[in-house]
Structure 1
Amino acid sequence: MGQLIVSGRVITEMTQWLSKWFGWVRVLAFFGLLCGLAIRVGDPQPLATLRNATFDLYHQSKPRDLTPMPVSILDVDDRSIEEIGQWPWPRSRIAEMVTRATEQGAVAIGFDIVFAEPDRLSPARIAQDNPDLPPDLAEGLKKLPDNDSVLAAAFATSRVIVGQASVRTTAGNRAEKREMAPAAHATIGPDPTPYLIKFPDIVQNLPELEATAAGRGMFSARPDPDGVYRRVPLVMSVQGQIRLGLTPELLRVATGGQPFAVRSNDAGIEGVVLARQLIPTARDGTVWPYLTPSSRSRYISAADLLKDRMPQGRLAGHLVLVGTSAIGLEDFRATPLGVAMAGVEIHAQVLENIMAKTLLLRPNYTIAIELVTTLVLCGLVILFAPRLSARLLISSSFVLLAGYVGTSYYLFYDKRILLDASFPVIATATAVMLISTVNYLREERQRREIRSAFGQYVSRDLVDQLSRNQGKLTLGGESRQLTLLFSDVRGFTAIAEEFRDDPEALTLLMNKFLTILSRAIMEQKGTIDKFMGDAVMAFWNAPLDNDDHARATCRAALKMIADVDKFNKERLREQKRKRVAQRADKRRPWTKVHKINVGIGINTGQCVVGNMGSDTRFDYTALGDPVNVASRLEGQSRYYGLAIILGNATAQEVMSEFAVMELDRVRVVGKEVPETIFALLGAEDLRRIPSFQKVLVTNAGMLSAYREQDWDRAEALLEQLTVDVQPLDLQLKAYLEMYRSRIADLRVDPPGPDWDGVFASTKK
């Protein structure tokens, strides 16, 4: 139990160490890689199918060159059946073929055919099957030689290898099971039987044919799950005995009939020693034939042999395989070349491969190479992909994979070695995609974080628009109708003095205050141009269109004032709690809370808005005369004692929906043309109140008398206005006092008959 706890701690510490130095993504990717390698070792069918498809592609791109070899096929083709008669032929006719082929110089003859039952065309069997024959004719037939005996006699005078076919079961479908004669062989290394393809039983030839044959070979071959015959067993286990396939048995007999040997190691079978050479095999004793397209040059029609139409010496020194290519006999097999081929020709090509040493090779160590390659390629991707740009990652991955695929194809092309390119490529490509996906998600998260942070400086609408159209991140602007807002804190010096010993608290306070203003602007889809200390500049109708920009600006301004008022009340409540604590500690100094008052100037007009600055640093901002006027109006709010001052253009847009009152005609600093300014006192609910409408009428009369220099009537209306505003709780005291003071000054120093009623402001 203690050892398990210690092991668990070690694994945990190792995992923590790996995650610290490589990151969780890499650690998980490495664990995924190990799982992928384990799957490859298990070699599920989809991977095997993909690997075989890769080898087929190689095979089809460069089939083996067709070179003359002493291998021929004695073919029962469609023409032979047409001339000689339907299949099966009498065994006497087969015996004639053996005799003639031997006379023509055939070294050995192998049958891709099994003669498992007695010939029904033997004379005695014909007499037996036809009881109505005349007695003398029947007796004569019975005295004639048996066809199977004739064939056995022909076998005895030649080197004939009979073919045997495997069956996959031992029960229920065999009338008789004959034990197989053992094949003389030796083993070099560990017992190879566990690695061999196993067949529990075989279909043998007639005993008299087996007895006179020079050899016995298995011509069974199993296709891959997709039905393609890619491998042929050179050696296999049948009835628990090691047996050769038809083609190696044919070669063994032709080269003297010496026993064969199977060479193996701990990884499986290395090869078969035959005719004084080692024929390399896969670990299960199979070989990968390197095929050429089907060629009629290998074939000799059985009819040509039997009717003496074959050129003399055509079979001299040849190893002959007897089989069928007639369409009706259905002995065609799918091949890696993508076309079907007669089974006997596949055996012939295997024999050619063995003799010319051109078999495709897939040594046991290729699996280790593929696993190591996968580990290295995926490891490089996992280690370096997070640090590389997408372009460099894709290009470097392409170069690595192309190099490996090129190496794999070169080994096939030049060395006939089959090295799988599919699994390493797929595994590496998967690693690239997964790491790229993780990188993309990480960058997307960082982009969101940057957009969120960037949105603290400018409008989120601007951030979204720039994200969709980065081409707008260039210098230049456009002319647009904007409504601009400037705000500033009244008496900021006194507030700063309050925090002279705690500048961090002042910073925190102003951040909270500016957040309140920013939220009000953002809620109305405004663009914050910049923060200037305690001041804010914002505008509407850029970058996104807003046909209601003047009203949206007024709504934002009213909310700013209301939210700042709430903020002041919260600060006062907090200060009261602090004062209770301060009374208990006489050493702590008494602190005073200064109320934050905001002045806002709003103006509407045609401006240039866009990216302004240098080619290395620029801001999205607005320029134009309306911008300057809005800034000056914000400054005038202090003089008139009102929170929100509107320019004439803005007031004309919104006065039908907001409580707007005319204040004055002023010539602000830096402008010659006077501007009629208004106060924004509230929303539509205030505008609809009859008492407010009365205030507007009285104020309009006061301004008219003032501009006509009727000082007595102006002062009388100021007194009336003082009374009218009381029920509404409008903060017009400073405004009224300003006009009383101004009228008093004008009585002493009259402006003259040409006075236009414009007040020339001397302060910004």
Structure 2
Amino acid sequence: MSGDQSDTGGTQGGAPSKNRKKSGSKSAAWWISKIGTVAALGIMALGIVIRVIDPEPIEALRLKTFDLYNRLEPRPSLSREQTPVAIVDIDEKSLAELGQWPWPRTVLADLLAALRDQGAVVAGFDMVFAEPDRTSPGRIAESIRGADPETVEQLRALPSNDAVMASVMRTFRTVVGQAGTKTEAVEKPSELALSTTFKGVRAVQGADSKLFDSHVFTQTSLVANIEDLEQSAFGRGLFSVEEEVDGVVRRVPILMKVEGAIKPTLTVEMLRVAFQGNSIFAFMNQGGIQDVRLQTTQGAYQIPVDGKGRVWVYFSEPDRFNTPDNSGRLYVSASDVINNKLPTGRLAGKLILIGTSAVGLLDIRSTPIYSRLPGIEVHANLLETILTNNFIKYPVEMAGFEMIGMILAGIIMILLIPRVGPIWTLLGLLAAAGTLVGGSWYMFTEKKTLIDVTYSGILVFATYFVLTFTNYMRDAVEKRQVRGAFSQYLSPDLVEQLAENPDQLTLGGELKRMTLLFCDVRGFTTISESFKDDPQGLTKLINRLLTPLTNEILKRRGTIDKYMGDCIMAFWNAPLEDEKQEVHACDAALAMFKALDVLNAEREAEAKEQGVEFLPLKIGAGINTGDCVVGNMGSDQRFDYSVLGDSVNLASRLEGQSKSYGVDVVLGVETQSKVTDQFATAELDLIAVKGKTEAVRIFALLDQRENLDPAEFKAFEEKHTQFLELYRAQNWDEAEKLGEQNKARLGGKMAKFYEIYRQRMEEFRSSPLPADWDGVYVATTK
């Protein structure tokens, strides 16, 4: 009986306990599942609310989708013959030929007359002439001191430059540019400047003026042209563009409101003038402006816009500008237009945008296709987009479709993840995402319709991850395997370790044998003085020099320590071991001089083209090998990976001595001893460099041995050794004769060296050295 009772008691005492455990587990899993479902629904609801509000970060995601698509599939570039647009460029060539900007408006009058005579349809200025021309005869008369009254009166009697330009404008369809600003104008624009040259803008489909005003872009004030030019122009348009939240120009407003007047943008006004339009209609509904229609004698141009009246500019590949041969498809030099140097018919029938690409005048805009696009080319792309009917559309109802898609995806995941598991759901989700991305790409490339899948994709995947997380939690409660399932997600990478444990970034370093290279520009002060009026040009030149020199160092396993103005400091054998550190450093130094020759040749050709003086860039280098401390140097707040040690200082001093000995590269003895089998070197001196009392033997790096004739180098080496022996024996006359004989060898690589020694020996003749002189030369300069 006791055994039976024991069995019974075991059954009754154990089984119920096990059943209670299962019941508890199921209950916890059920609650976790429900929490996950509620969280997923909450994410979707919050996501839909955010999408309706459409804050700037969400809009930025959508805009980045457009950027990506525009870069991957830019609008096909029309050929020079196909494009209806041309840019007359006030470029560097034009400034060189016609004088500095601003030009007298008589020159601009000549430009407009040339465009008229060459068959252009219309010209629009991407600039504003807000003040009278100060070079007009009357204004010059007022500024001349001591002129006789008759001359002054004669000058005053001549028409102003503005009047000359205005008279030409009345004979050729010209649109003057105006600029909208967000600040109050110092002087209120005239009624003429604020007026429009068409019959007006009216909203239809039941939208009242208040609704229209709430959607159209508004500028506080207007910067207009002088009255004479405004009066003589065929049209007036705003060339201001509105940047997006991230500073990129993607959409350009077709209409803007300025001081109560609805003004067209430059491109629309050019179209109106070109095709003799008389009215612009803005079609609206409660969602905003739907499209803008330009009524012309050739029919209506329907321009689809977003709710705020902006056109998505579909950019083509950037055109080449500021080219002397006018090789761009859009750009032509203004001087060539005026001087009638363009091929016949080059501008016939085209809409002309007049702007500038000259340095200092260039209006740079960041665009999806290129981060530094001239602003005038934005207008050209907009004109091509409109004239080729190549519009990108983002319908207002698209947001509704995106939200419906998010809801359906969320419901499917809520149903599937608990049943088929997250892996299969993820595979299905990825397949669906691929289909959506493919569909979005198809709609953009084939239908020119933008479908944003980024935000909805992020929201769907956020929902997926919430559901997946709760699914894993449920499995952990049921199967006790949650720790193993989550372990793969808890392994941080190196960056995360450093971010979470900043105490691992400690100061200090290690002692290593390293090879150091210093390189500096010779005569940099003279070069700097030639750029005193163009500091940006000097910066560009230094960057242009340092880039190829740096590349040669990096190609040969070197590490750039720092740039010090026009100087480069580099080292080898850290952080990676380099058994051939001396060879790689010498090879890099020789390659740097070859790269410099290439750069100087390019600059000399450029100087000839521009008609300016050519100042060649020259460098010197010093290389030394020795023990150094390498590691993180600096303070607790900021530090760099760098080197310290006497060998570093000596390398710097050797670079300075390259000029003193008339050679390109000076080597320390530790470096020279490791490279003599591969490189041709020559001893320079036994010298006590500035800041050191001990003398060091230094050498010149001449070339790769394979590049020199062995017999000639051997003969040079023997004579050079004899020369130094005679010099150190104070046998000045014999040493000088030997130096003269050796000058021409090796293509004169050491000619400057022997000349420097000749001058030094002249000084020693006048100031004799002691008889026991040890041959050490004490340097007085760095």
Q: TM-score, normalised by structure 2?
A: 0.54
- Are residue 252 (structure 1) and residue 266 (structure 2) matched? no
Supply the RMSD in Å over aligned alpha carbons: 2.3
- Are residue 421 (structure 1) and residue 433 (structure 2) matched? no
**Map 1:283-362 → 2, pairs under 5 A:** 283-295=307-319, 296-362=328-394
Q: Give 1:230's match in structure 2, choosing from 250, 267, 270.
A: 250
CA gap of 1:302–1:437, structure 2 versus 1, over 3 A, is same
Q: CA deviation at 1:41?
A: 1.4
Q: Which amino acid aligns with 1:65?
A: P
Alignment check: 8 A CA contact 1:386 1:439 kept: yes
Distance in 2 between residues matched to 1:393 and 1:304, nearest whole Å? 65
Q: Which amino acid aligns with 1:184?
A: K
User: What is residue 195 of structure 2 aligned with on the other side?
Assistant: 181
Q: CA deviation at 1:33?
A: 0.9
CA gap of 1:103–1:376, structure 2 versus 1, over 3 A, is same
SS in 2 for 1:328: coil
Q: CA deviation at 1:196?
A: 0.7
Q: Give 1:216's match in structure 2, choosing from 226, 236, 247.
A: 236
Distance in 2 between residues matched to 1:63 and 1:227, nearest whole Å? 20
Deviation string, structure 1 residues 422-461 (Cα, Å, up to 9, x no partner): 101101111111111111111112223x89xxxxxxxxxx
- Are residue 43 (structure 1) and residue 75 (structure 2) matched? no
Distance in 2 between residues matched to 1:157 and 1:380, nearest whole Å? 68
Q: CA deviation at 1:134?
A: 4.3
User: What is residue 139 of structure 1 aligned with on the other side?
Assistant: 153
Distance in 2 between residues matched to 1:465 and 1:101, nearest whole Å? 77
Q: CA deviation at 1:269?
A: 0.6
Distance in 2 between residues matched to 1:252 and 1:466, nearest whole Å? 67
- Are residue 410 (structure 1) and residue 434 (structure 2) matched? no
CA gap of 1:326–1:467, structure 2 versus 1, over 3 A, is closer
Distance in 1 between residues matched to 2:222 and 2:438, nearest whole Å? 44
Alignment check: 8 A CA contact 1:378 1:427 kept: no
Q: CA deviation at 1:69?
A: 1.6
- Are residue 384 (structure 1) and residue 416 (structure 2) matched? yes
Deviation string, structure 1 residues 147-181 (Cα, Å, up to 9, x no partner): 111111111111111111001122xx513443411
User: What is residue 201 of structure 1 aligned with on the other side?
Assistant: 221
**Map 1:187-586 → 2, pairs under 5 A:** 187-189=203-205, 190-191=207-208, 192-274=212-294, 275=296, 276-295=300-319, 296-448=328-480
Structure 1: gaps (5+ residues): 1-18, 452-463, 469-764
Distance in 2 between residues matched to 1:246 and 1:24, nearest whole Å? 57
Distance in 2 between residues matched to 1:465 and 1:337, nearest whole Å? 47
User: What is residue 176 of structure 2 aligned with on the other side?
Assistant: 162
SS in 2 for 1:128: helix
User: What is residue 97 of structure 1 aligned with on the other side?
Assistant: 111
Q: CA deviation at 1:325?
A: 1.3
Structure 2: gaps (5+ residues): 1-29, 320-327, 488-782
Count of residue pairs the alignment pairs up: 435
Deviation string, structure 1 residues 539-596 (Cα, Å, up to 9, x no partner): xxxxxxxxxxxxxxxxxxxxxxxxxxxxxxxxxxxxxxxxxxxxxxxxxxxxxxxxxx
- Are residue 56 (structure 1) and residue 92 (structure 2) matched? no
Q: Which amino acid aligns with 1:175?
A: E
Q: CA deviation at 1:137?
A: 3.2
User: What is residue 30 of structure 1 aligned with on the other side?
Assistant: 41
CA gap of 1:465–1:394, structure 2 versus 1, over 3 A, is closer
User: What is residue 552 of structure 2 aligned with on the other side?
Assistant: none
CA gap of 1:466–1:213, structure 2 versus 1, over 3 A, is closer
Distance in 1 between residues matched to 2:450 and 2:308, nearest whole Å? 16
Distance in 2 between residues matched to 1:326 and 1:410, nearest whole Å? 40
Alignment check: 8 A CA contact 1:165 1:220 kept: yes
CA gap of 1:465–1:70, structure 2 versus 1, over 3 A, is closer
User: What is residue 86 of structure 1 aligned with on the other side?
Assistant: 100
Q: CA deviation at 1:347?
A: 0.5
Q: CA deviation at 1:128?
A: 1.4
Q: CA deviation at 1:130?
A: 2.7
CA gap of 1:243–1:175, structure 2 versus 1, over 3 A, is closer
Distance in 1 between residues matched to 2:244 and 2:486, nearest whole Å? 54
Q: CA deviation at 1:395?
A: 0.2
Q: Which amino acid aligns with 2:176?
A: V
SS in 2 for 1:417: coil
CA gap of 1:371–1:317, structure 2 versus 1, over 3 A, is same
Deviation string, structure 1 residues 489-526 (Cα, Å, up to 9, x no partner): xxxxxxxxxxxxxxxxxxxxxxxxxxxxxxxxxxxxxx
Distance in 2 between residues matched to 1:127 and 1:53, nearest whole Å? 56
Distance in 2 between residues matched to 1:441 and 1:24, nearest whole Å? 11
CA gap of 1:345–1:85, structure 2 versus 1, over 3 A, is same
Distance in 2 between residues matched to 1:133 and 1:443, nearest whole Å? 100
Q: TM-score, normalised by structure 1?
A: 0.55
Q: Which amino acid aligns with 2:311?
A: V
Q: CA deviation at 1:39?
A: 0.8
Distance in 1 between residues matched to 2:144 and 2:398, nearest whole Å? 63
Distance in 1 between residues matched to 2:371 and 2:484, nearest whole Å? 59
Q: CA deviation at 1:361?
A: 1.2
CA gap of 1:23–1:157, structure 2 versus 1, over 3 A, is same
Q: Which amino acid aligns with 1:258?
A: N
User: What is residue 755 of structure 2 aligned with on the other side?
Assistant: none
SS in 1 for 2:456: helix
Q: CA deviation at 1:334?
A: 0.8
CA gap of 1:132–1:41, structure 2 versus 1, over 3 A, is farther
Distance in 2 between residues matched to 1:38 and 1:263, nearest whole Å? 28
Q: CA deviation at 1:63?
A: 0.6
Distance in 2 between residues matched to 1:426 and 1:466, nearest whole Å? 24
User: What is residue 70 of structure 1 aligned with on the other side?
Assistant: 84
Distance in 1 between residues matched to 2:32 and 2:270, nearest whole Å? 63
Q: CA deviation at 1:339?
A: 3.1
Q: Which amino acid aligns with 1:291?
A: F
Deviates more, 1:196-205 or 1:181-190: 181-190
CA gap of 1:41–1:150, structure 2 versus 1, over 3 A, is same
CA gap of 1:465–1:219, structure 2 versus 1, over 3 A, is closer
Distance in 2 between residues matched to 1:56 and 1:378, nearest whole Å? 28
Deviation string, structure 1 residues 92-148 (Cα, Å, up to 9, x no partner): 111111111011111111111111111111111112123244444333222221011
Distance in 1 between residues matched to 2:176 and 2:273, nearest whole Å? 11
Tell which structure's C-alpha radius of gyration is larger.
1
CA gap of 1:54–1:74, structure 2 versus 1, over 3 A, is same
Q: CA deviation at 1:257?
A: 2.7
Larger RCO of the pair (alpha carbons < 8 Å, separation 6+): 2
Deviation string, structure 1 residues 308-329 (Cα, Å, up to 9, x no partner): 2111222211111111111220
Distance in 1 between residues matched to 2:380 and 2:289, nearest whole Å? 23
Q: CA deviation at 1:465?
A: 12
CA gap of 1:86–1:467, structure 2 versus 1, over 3 A, is closer
Distance in 1 between residues matched to 2:391 and 2:485, nearest whole Å? 63
Alignment check: 8 A CA contact 2:114 2:340 kept: no
Q: CA deviation at 1:421?
A: 1.3
Q: Which amino acid aligns with 1:392?
A: W
Q: Which amino acid aligns with 2:56?
A: Q
Distance in 2 between residues matched to 1:203 and 1:403, nearest whole Å? 50
Distance in 2 between residues matched to 1:447 and 1:230, nearest whole Å? 53
SS in 1 for 2:109: helix
Distance in 2 between residues matched to 1:466 and 1:145, nearest whole Å? 88
Distance in 2 between residues matched to 1:321 and 1:177, nearest whole Å? 24
Alignment check: 8 A CA contact 1:162 1:217 kept: yes
